[in-house]
Amino acid sequence: MGEFELIRHYFAAAPCAQGGEGVALGIGDDCALLSVAAGEQLAISTDTLVAGVHFPAVCDPFLLGQRSLAVAASDLAAMGATPIGFTLALTLPDVQADWLQAYARGLNQMAQACRLSLIGGDTTRGPLSLTMTVFGRVPQGLALTRSGARAGDLLCVGAELGNAAGALPLVLAERQAEPAVAEPLLAHYWSPSPQFALGQALRGKATSALDISDGLLADCGHIAKASQVALQVELERLPVSDALQALLGREGARQAALAGGDDYVLAFTLPEAQLAPLQAAGWPVHVIGRVASGTGVSLVDGQGRDITPVTRGYQHFREQP
């Protein structure tokens, strides 16, 4: 099967490839054409997932289809953007019909859940890797960025933390757990839900935001650096799930929440006056610390003592001992 036949057979005919709001021209030409209304800006992000690095080399292709798009789409949520479309660059060692059919089904299911249209891409031969470029729109001047946090703001997250990190030993078959514990953790790993609605609700309210991919402490460091402030995380306020605590225990769950990565939950800073209205409206806002003058990220215990760990999250190019 040639490249173009592969695209037509497995991807171009999928429901998610039939266009949508903001897509003037989708798959079939040298470029897609997107329409953005006056007063809006285009938000763009790219993510690459590599077999053996970001996911097990042998895994369920349907679940991989869901995960590969969700982790990229989460970047749009972090900017407060409304989703439009995405492209897929797919590198395959060979063509396996069953694998491609399952992957395309998972990809389509997540695309429809996120309201993202597949608008183009590329296929080539090589070690398995998946590159997604996602496109969204946001009102001019209202995009959430990492650079607006101010001393006195609250540091918040949009959901429980650490579930995907807790799932990893289950994904790698390093340990087992009863279904009541394993299933919610595995669901978070394979099918994360980008927090689009929360991101859009935070427009004009949050002073900075990002999605947590490499661990809470590591990613909060990006806000601290971009905003030129210090962030203080309070250990006792970390939201962790019952399933995660059942698997890892209280301290293990906290470690997963702090440095585990792959959460794809929004972390954001918020003026204190904005907290009550957002919570009253039902938005999942969990306060986990504060913004202060200074630099860097610190972790404090219930008595206010600094217990900041050396390891703060995942780094692709960190030198190994």
**Residue 311 predicted with pLDDT over 80:** no
Global pTM reads 0.92
Is the pLDDT at 313 greater than 90? The verdict is: no
CA distance readout (Å), 305 to 12, 289, 302, 319: 56, 14, 7, 30
pLDDT band at 303 (very low <50, low <70, confident <90, very high): confident
- Give the Cα separation of 111 and 149 in Å (integer): 32
**Does 189 score more than 80 pLDDT?**
yes
Instruction: Give the closest residue to 92 by CA, choosing from 131, 54, 133, 120.
Output: 131
16-37 pLDDT tens trace: 999 889 999 998 888 999 999 9
Tell me the pLDDT tens digit for each residue of 74-133. 999 999 999 999 999 999 999 899 999 999 999 999 999 999 999 998 889 999 999 999
For 144-175, the DSSP string reads --SS---TTPEEEESS--SHHHHHHHHHTTS-
Structural domains of the chain in order of their starting residue, each with its CATH number: 3-139 (3.30.1330.10), 154-300 (3.90.650.10)
- pLDDT class of 213 with cuts at 50, 70, 90: very high
